[in-house]
A and B are shown apart, each in its own frame.
Chain A
Amino acid sequence: MASSTTPTLQVCRDCGGGAPIDAHFCPQCTKILSLGRHGDYFAFLGLPRKLNVDPAELERRFRDLSRQFHPDYFYNASPAERRASLERSSYLNDAYRTLKNPVSRVEYLLEVEGLAAKGPAGTTEREGFSRASVPPALLEEVFALNEELDEIRDARAGGTPAEQWKPRLERARVPIDAKRAAHEADVQALSGRWDALVDAGAPGADRRRILESLRQRILERNYINNLLAGIERELNG
């Protein structure tokens, strides 16, 4: 997705004039620009590429931009402008949704920085850890959990009543929950460091290291969530 030479200009399809990449309306003819070449979600919303986003600021920008190019206001416009309004609004809504959630915000940053933890946004090509390959940092917990789960399943199959195995299952998830909390704190701390590097205009290699750590944490986090979802299924099943 990310290219080494980031484009800085787009072309107005209406008058042929040039416009800055993050403009929404043509500076020459004032028409809404079709969504050809465009900036990433951060640039589109006029935000720096940082991980701590003020929710009120995000909401305000989302509302302001919606007011500028929602299809409601292009009902009487030309077909090209209507198309542009539809595409720009869709992109805005995707950007807002992605950046609103802290986890998808990190995932998106990794993607635009070329370190996707999953496939490109909006597509469903996914990679990351499969069920079989356990992230090394989680080996101990996962091993203990699987052992416990096996025993509980045997007990259930043997007719042990729910009031006996359910508390056991609840206990089994405690270390996993703790791991998750630790991960959230890690991601928070790394996010702060990333933002500081952006503010300082730090060199690419330093940034890269933080991003690698973030990527690792996010993949582990996804793995933990799968584990917890599995326990939830056992509890309700």
Chain B
Amino acid sequence: MGRVVGIDLGTTNSLVAFVENGAPVVIRDKSGDGLVPSVVSIGGEGTVYVGREAQRRLLTDAQRTAYSVKRFMGKGREDVRHEEEHFPFRVSGEAGGVVRIGLGDKEFTPPEISAFVLRDLKRRAEDFFAQQGEFDNEVDRAVITVPAYFNDAQRTATRDAGRIAGLEVLRIINEPTAASLAYGLDKRHTGLIAVYDLGGGTFDISILRVEDGVFQVLSTNGDTHLGGDDIDVLLMDTILGDRVRTPEDVQAVRQAVIQAKWDLSERDETTLNGRPFTRAAFEALIAPVVDRTIGPVRQALADAGLAPSQIDEVVLVGGSTRIPLVRRRVEEIFGKRPHSELNPDEVVALGAAVQADILVTGNREMLLLDVTPLSLGIETMGGVVSKIIMRNSTIPASGSELFTTAVDNQTAVDIHVLQGERELVADNRSLARFKLRGIPPMPAGLARVQVQFQIDANGILSVTARELRTDVEQTIEVKPSYGLTDEEVERMLLDSFEHAEADFAARLLIEARNEAESVIQATEKSLRNPDFAAIEKDELAPGERQKIESVMAGLRMVLNSKDRETIQKWTHALNDATQHLAEVIMNRTVKAALSGKSVNDV
């Protein structure tokens, strides 16, 4: 048996974690980075790049590079038509069928693209275990997280991605619930918890009651199309205007916009497009996006039968909760300051690792009881939905419906399964259509076929049927409306072995680039420190800043070269040039901490 991990497969970034000596740990690369950007790029020669390297290729080869693919998981072609203009890659697919993403001369389904990211995480974990000197370092099983508000098709697509990546998916769990598991580890919590999870592409709110180690979700709500991406698009629109640009230019603007967004979480002003950009202007622009989270929060509270003031603790999850406006809104809604002790980017992966550990060890200290986010129903006469399992039912959940025949000797019935809260079929999500066959011939209305719907602990549906008069089990062929068949998944698993990953030399080069980039980012952060002017005046030697800037510029120049040694030489040079500055900042932090004074993020 191989190793087991927990994976947060995010819209923007993905992470892998495992449990070591009873505590979950994020697995990092050589430069200490736990995040793998959920970006996949296909080189001209067919090589697959994942993560930071793929992200860099957005600036050189945007049309062969896919990001935010989580937004397309479990979707049909029609669902995404309105937003494909924002992406550099081709979006296609047959009407009524699953979305396809074109990169170069190849086409992929969203689960296949996600599988590349998962495969990269799997290898990252295997490399790590091998370095630890573990004999058994193969990673073959994983718990993967999804937004709580993901529907059946989106969950199934995520599980398919895991299978295509060669992983046995032990369990699909909800991101906010995973986060609560990670938070619940150190303290014996008892009480009502709200988890507010605003990530790169999705928003979730979950209300939980925690008692005796049982994490029971009372209600959940959200929007699988709301997150940091929407903020980026808003900012990009203000800069891009109507001018036609190359896809690479658009990506450069996107990166500048993201940098400005990050800056404004720490400072009151930054520059964007060469002009000053204040936090106030930023907040005025994004307020409508942030306010879209309020409705789901109120609905979740109402469904749990709770008033905001009854919530004992509020937990923030997802990178977008670093935005001060988001924190203020959450505080306004609940009337209390939210928790953010754990890194909001990492907490979901940590929880996934805990759940994976529970499943393989049978440890009964903690138990997670989640709910299904959307009601499940079937189409009845007149295009109306008849609900069979209500939203916020604890899973696993089951429900049944009796069917009969309309004409004599009818041997089959068509059944249309839907998910959603609306009354009319057309307003809900079509999950599957199937034909119930093998009903024994008898006069109309005599057959009594009981169809049993079972939602398992992953939130995924299965259907069985039985004719009650004859007690004959019916065969059901479920054709997912926007999913892959088992055969397709199997074929994709085989195909995936044919895609070349970067070879050993190329991987070393990529590692060198990643390290160079993380040193550049750390340096930039130091230079942008709000106290930097004072630090420079008091403690830096004349010309020290200029030296740092020129070495950093030099490293940037060679970053995209293929010469690994040159990149490493410049990386070391930048490390040396910033060593004194790093010491100065560290000393100030220590001094401030000792005097009890709060310091800005250093």
Question: Footprint of B on A, CB under 8 Å?
Answer: 59, 63, 66-67, 70-73, 75-76, 86-87, 89-91, 93-94, 96-97, 122-125
Contacts and interface: CB of A to CB of B under 8 A. Distances in A.
B45 interface: no
B402 A89 contact: no
29 contacts: A59-B211, A63-B211, A63-B214, A66-B367, A66-B369, A70-B367, A70-B369, A70-B457, A71-B456, A71-B457, A72-B358, A72-B368, A73-B364, A86-B396, A86-B456, A86-B457, A89-B396, A90-B398, A90-B454, A93-B397, A94-B398, A97-B393, A97-B394, A122-B388, A123-B400, A123-B401, A124-B387, A124-B388, A125-B402
B398 A122 contact: yes
Contact of A63 (B212, B359, B456): B212
A186 to B, nearest CB: 23
B247 interface: no
A115 B171 CA distance: 41
Interface in B153-187: 170-171
Contact of B400 (A59, A72, A122): A122
Contacts of B402: 123, 125
Contacts of A72: 171, 358-359, 367-368, 457
Contact of A75 (B214, B359, B367, B397): B359
B399 interface: yes
Indicate the size class of the contact surface on chain B.
Answer: 20 to 34
A75 B170 contact: yes
B190 to A, nearest CB: 12
A45 B388 CA distance: 23
B535 interface: no
B385 to A, nearest CB: 10
Nearest to A63: B214
Contact of B214 (A67, A73, A86): A67
B386 interface: yes
Contacts of B502: none
B360 interface: yes
Given A66-B369, A90-B454, A124-B386, A73 B362 contact: yes
* Chain B contact residues: helix, strand, loop or mixed: strand
Contacts of B456: 71, 86
A93 B394 contact: yes
B361 to A, nearest CB: 9
Interface of B: 170-171, 211-212, 214, 216, 358-360, 362, 364, 367-369, 386-388, 393-402, 454, 456-457
Contacts of A75: 170, 359-360, 362
Q: Which 7 A-B pairs have the closest CB atoms?
A: A90-B398, A93-B394, A90-B396, A75-B359, A71-B457, A63-B214, A122-B399
B396 A67 contact: no
A122 B389 CA distance: 8
Given A71-B457, A72-B358, A72-B457, A93 B211 contact: no
Nearest to B214: A63
Contacts of B387: 124
B30 to A, nearest CB: 34
B396 A124 contact: no
A4 B281 CA distance: 73
Contacts of B388: 122, 124
A97 B402 CA distance: 21
Contact of B362 (A59, A76, A122, A124): A76
B210 to A, nearest CB: 11
A161 B388 CA distance: 41
Contacts of B395: 93
B67 to A, nearest CB: 34
Given A70-B457, A71-B396, 12 more contacts: A67-B367, A70-B369, A71-B457, A72-B368, A75-B360, A86-B457, A90-B396, A93-B395, A93-B396, A94-B398, A122-B398, A123-B401
A122 B377 CA distance: 12
Nearest to B395: A93
Contacts of A91: 398
B397 A90 contact: yes
B170 A66 contact: no
Contacts of B362: 73, 75-76
Given A75-B359, A122-B400, A123-B402, A67 B364 contact: yes
A93 B369 CA distance: 10
A114 B401 CA distance: 19
Contacts of B397: 90, 93-94
